[in-house]
Amino acid sequence: MPIRVFDADADGVPLPLISRRARLVVWPGAGAEVASMNHVVLEPGEANVPHAHAASEDTIVVLEGRGEVRDLTHGLILPVEPECVIHVPEGVRHAVHAHTRMVSVGGPCPPDRAMLRALGVLGDGTGQGRPR
Question: Where does the pLDDT of residue 124 fall: very low under 50, low under 70, confident under 90, or very high at 90 and above?
Answer: low
Cα distance between residue 129 and residue 56, in whole Å: 21
Question: What pLDDT digit, counting tens, does each position of 27-79 carry?
Answer: 999 999 999 999 999 999 999 999 999 999 999 999 999 999 999 999 999 99
Burial of 92 (C-beta count, 10 Å sphere; 0-12/13-18/19+): middle
Structurally, how many domains does the chain consist of?
1
108: in domain: yes
Residue 106 has φ and ψ, to the nearest 5°, of 150, -170
Instruction: Give the integer Cα–Cα distance in Å for 87 and 129.
Output: 29
How many CA atoms within 13 Å lie on the side-chain side of 3? 1
Which structural domain range is residue 71 located in?
A: 9-118
Which of 109, 111, 107, 105 has the alpha carbon at shortest distance from 39?
Answer: 105
Alpha carbons 43 and 99: distance in angstroms, whole number: 8
Model-level pTM?
0.89
Label residue 127 by pLDDT band (50, 70, 90): very low
Per-residue pLDDT at 6 exceeds 60: yes
* Average pLDDT score over residue span 90-109: 98
Q: What pLDDT does residue 130 have?
A: 42
Q: Could you tell me if residue 15 is inside a domain?
A: yes
Is residue 94 in some structural domain? yes
Closest listed residue to residue 22, CA positions, set 43, 45, 6? 43
The pLDDT value recorded for residue 33 is 92
- Greater pLDDT, 70 or 131: 70
Taking 60 as the threshold, does the pLDDT of residue 132 lie above it?
A: no
Tell me what the pLDDT averaged over the chain comes to: 91
Close Cβ partners of 126 (under 8 Å, ≥ 6 residues apart): none
Q: Is residue 24 part of a domain?
A: yes
Residue 127 lies in a domain: no
Which among 63, 72, 59, 69 has a CA at the least distance from the CA of 110?
Answer: 59
Per the domain annotation, does 130 fall within a domain? no
Residue 63 within any structural domain of the chain: yes
Q: Is there a domain that residue 100 lies in?
A: yes
| Domain CATH for 83 | 2.60.120.10
- Residue 93 reports pLDDT greater than 50: yes
